[in-house]
Protein backbone atom coordinates (compact mmCIF):
# COMPACT_ATOMS: atom_id res chain seq x y z
CA UNK A 1 0.00 0.00 0.00
CA UNK A 2 1.43 3.44 -0.93
CA UNK A 3 2.47 5.75 1.85
CA UNK A 4 0.14 8.72 2.51
CA UNK A 5 3.28 10.86 2.72
CA UNK A 6 4.14 9.90 -0.84
CA UNK A 7 0.67 10.94 -2.00
CA UNK A 8 1.00 14.33 -0.30
CA UNK A 9 4.42 14.85 -1.86
CA UNK A 10 3.11 13.84 -5.30
CA UNK A 11 0.25 16.34 -5.01
CA UNK A 12 2.72 19.05 -4.05
CA UNK A 13 4.86 18.27 -7.07
CA UNK A 14 1.83 18.37 -9.37
CA UNK A 15 0.89 21.76 -7.97
CA UNK A 16 4.31 23.03 -9.00
CA UNK A 17 3.25 22.55 -12.62
CA UNK A 18 0.94 25.55 -12.15
CA UNK A 19 4.07 27.70 -11.85
CA UNK A 20 4.95 26.88 -15.46
CA UNK A 21 3.40 29.13 -18.13
CA UNK A 22 0.08 27.66 -19.38
CA UNK A 23 1.25 27.37 -23.00
CA UNK A 24 4.35 25.52 -21.93
CA UNK A 25 2.54 23.44 -19.31
CA UNK A 26 0.08 22.17 -21.91
CA UNK A 27 2.88 20.91 -24.16
CA UNK A 28 4.74 19.40 -21.17
CA UNK A 29 1.69 17.48 -20.04
CA UNK A 30 0.79 16.16 -23.48
CA UNK A 31 4.35 15.05 -24.19
CA UNK A 32 4.48 13.56 -20.69
CA UNK A 33 1.43 11.48 -21.58
CA UNK A 34 3.38 9.99 -24.47
CA UNK A 35 2.37 12.16 -27.42
CA UNK A 36 5.03 13.19 -29.90
CA UNK A 37 5.90 16.89 -30.06
CA UNK A 38 4.88 16.98 -33.72
CA UNK A 39 1.43 15.59 -32.82
CA UNK A 40 1.04 18.06 -29.96
CA UNK A 41 2.03 20.98 -32.19
CA UNK A 42 -0.41 19.89 -34.88
CA UNK A 43 -3.28 19.44 -32.38
CA UNK A 44 -2.62 22.91 -30.92
CA UNK A 45 -2.27 24.52 -34.35
CA UNK A 46 1.40 25.40 -33.81
CA UNK A 47 4.43 25.14 -36.05
CA UNK A 48 6.54 22.15 -34.98
CA UNK A 49 9.43 24.44 -34.01
CA UNK A 50 7.15 26.35 -31.65
CA UNK A 51 6.07 23.08 -30.06
CA UNK A 52 9.70 22.13 -29.43
CA UNK A 53 10.47 25.62 -28.10
CA UNK A 54 7.58 25.49 -25.64
CA UNK A 55 8.63 22.04 -24.50
CA UNK A 56 12.23 23.19 -23.96
CA UNK A 57 11.17 26.34 -22.06
CA UNK A 58 8.65 24.38 -20.02
CA UNK A 59 11.28 21.83 -19.02
CA UNK A 60 13.68 24.59 -18.02
CA UNK A 61 11.06 26.40 -15.96
CA UNK A 62 9.91 23.19 -14.28
CA UNK A 63 13.53 22.27 -13.48
CA UNK A 64 14.05 25.69 -11.87
CA UNK A 65 10.84 25.35 -9.85
CA UNK A 66 11.83 21.87 -8.68
CA UNK A 67 15.29 23.10 -7.72
CA UNK A 68 13.76 25.82 -5.52
CA UNK A 69 11.29 23.31 -4.05
CA UNK A 70 14.11 20.92 -3.10
CA UNK A 71 15.98 23.71 -1.31
CA UNK A 72 12.89 24.51 0.78
CA UNK A 73 12.34 20.94 1.90
Tens of pLDDT, residue by residue over 28-55, are 999 999 999 999 999 999 999 999 999 9
Per-residue pLDDT, 3: 65
Per-residue pLDDT, 34: 96
pLDDT band at 6 (very low <50, low <70, confident <90, very high): low
Residue 69 has pLDDT above 60, yes or no: yes
Mean pLDDT along residues 19-32:
95
Residue 28 burial by Cβ neighbours in a 10 Å radius (0-12, 13-18, 19+): buried
Amino acid sequence: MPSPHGEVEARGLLELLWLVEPRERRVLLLVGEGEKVSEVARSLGLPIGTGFSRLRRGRRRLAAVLKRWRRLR
